[in-house]
Amino acid sequence: MLILFILLFFLLAFGLTYFMRVYALKKNIIDNPNERSSHSVPTPRGGGVAVVLSYLIGLVVLLYLDQISTYFALTLMSAGFIIALLGFLDDRGHINSMLRLAIHFLVAMGVVVGFGGFSEITVFNGVELGFFADIIAVLFLVWLLNLYNFMDGINGIASVEAITSTLSMAVIYLVLNKIVDEKSLILLAACVFGFLLWNFPKAKIFMGDACSGFLGLILGILALIALKQDTALFCAWLICLGVFIVDATFTLIRRIFSGYKMYDAHRSHTYQILSRKLNSHTPVTLGIAAVNILWLFPVAYFVATQNYAYPELGILIAYFPLIILAIIFKAGNQNA
């Protein structure tokens, strides 16, 4: 039944992506190349709406079948819908960046308050963060939401990151027999895969802000839910999302220190530099998939399952080679 359920929503996302492509072409919702772009051909955008609709419908079905907790489902659906709608409106017409960011913070604060806060969380084997944990949780959600937008720049990259991260964590949850709705993770991977076939290796339609922000928020919420259960599980989430977190954060920090504004358009992420050097998106996206599966997943698995006193050190181990790569390829350097 689970296989049939997943297949059904994969097909739904695949079909809805086709209709979104027709709609985007009809309404002239086209992504034209600019100074930030890694593509050279005008391409319809907004196809990720298919992922959003499919996933939200899937959550409703899981809720109806009593296969997912009510509060968990409602949190994902309400917060995800607001961010997806905001992104869709931004795709259709520009929304002031400060207004958009303010809404991001309001949604993030709503999620954290809804979870009852994180003041009880300890790190490094007993260090209590208190109220600062709530602030960090809000910032984490807003940053992951936005960095996913920043990193959605070449064919298949955002989809591959979501698929590998959710499936990796689903395996960890199943092995640990944790009380968590892993079906929601597998559902998300299936919906994203339905879109991926339209976006990779050659993009017939782009994801758009409606879905990239949605994915960042949903993955962030799933990670915070893990934090409520076990710090090591949260560390595992951070490890699985390492490629996006390291590339976006390293690039942003370097650009800020170089005098650029946070939202200045650019093409200086590691993945963008690599795609130019290789003159292709495909090997970069496949390389990220390989790093996620062959490096980050094993590290995340051991951190989550071995009961280390300091699981936070696993993040440093996982991120170290990614940081080295960002340095080697001069991420954040406008002239790289």
The phi, psi pair for 208, rounded to 5°, reads 85, 165
- Kindly state whether residue 36 falls inside one of the protein's structural domains: no
Number of structural domains in the chain: 1
The phi, psi pair for 319, rounded to 5°, reads -80, -25
pLDDT digits (tens, 9 = 90+) for 197-215: 999 999 999 999 899 999 9
- Kindly state whether residue 35 falls inside one of the protein's structural domains: no
Give the pLDDT confidence score for residue 313 in this predicted structure. Answer: 95
- Kindly state whether residue 67 falls inside one of the protein's structural domains: yes
- Comparing CA positions, the residue from 190, 192, 191, 169 lying closest to residue 181 is 169
CA distance 207 to 304: 31
Give the pLDDT confidence score for residue 40 in this predicted structure. Answer: 65
- Kindly state whether residue 335 falls inside one of the protein's structural domains: no
CA distance 158 to 153: 8
Give the pLDDT confidence score for residue 264 in this predicted structure. Answer: 75
- How many other CB atoms sit within 10 Å of the CB of residue 278? 12
- How many other CB atoms sit within 10 Å of the CB of residue 291? 18
Model confidence band, residue 38 (pLDDT cutoffs 50, 70, 90): low
- Kindly state whether residue 184 falls inside one of the protein's structural domains: yes
- Comparing CA positions, the residue from 145, 141, 169 lying closest to residue 158 is 145
Mean residue pLDDT across the chain: 92
Q: Is the pLDDT of residue 277 over 80?
A: yes
- Kindly state whether residue 102 falls inside one of the protein's structural domains: yes
Share of the chain above pLDDT 70, in %: 96
pLDDT digits (tens, 9 = 90+) for 91-135: 777 788 899 999 999 999 999 999 999 989 988 888 888 899 999
- Kindly state whether residue 159 falls inside one of the protein's structural domains: yes
Give the pLDDT confidence score for residue 35 in this predicted structure. Answer: 59
- Kindly state whether residue 193 falls inside one of the protein's structural domains: yes
Residue 126 belongs to what domain range?
2-29+43-328
Residues 185/222, Cβ–Cβ less than 8 Å: yes
Per-residue pLDDT, averaged over 168-179, amounts to 87
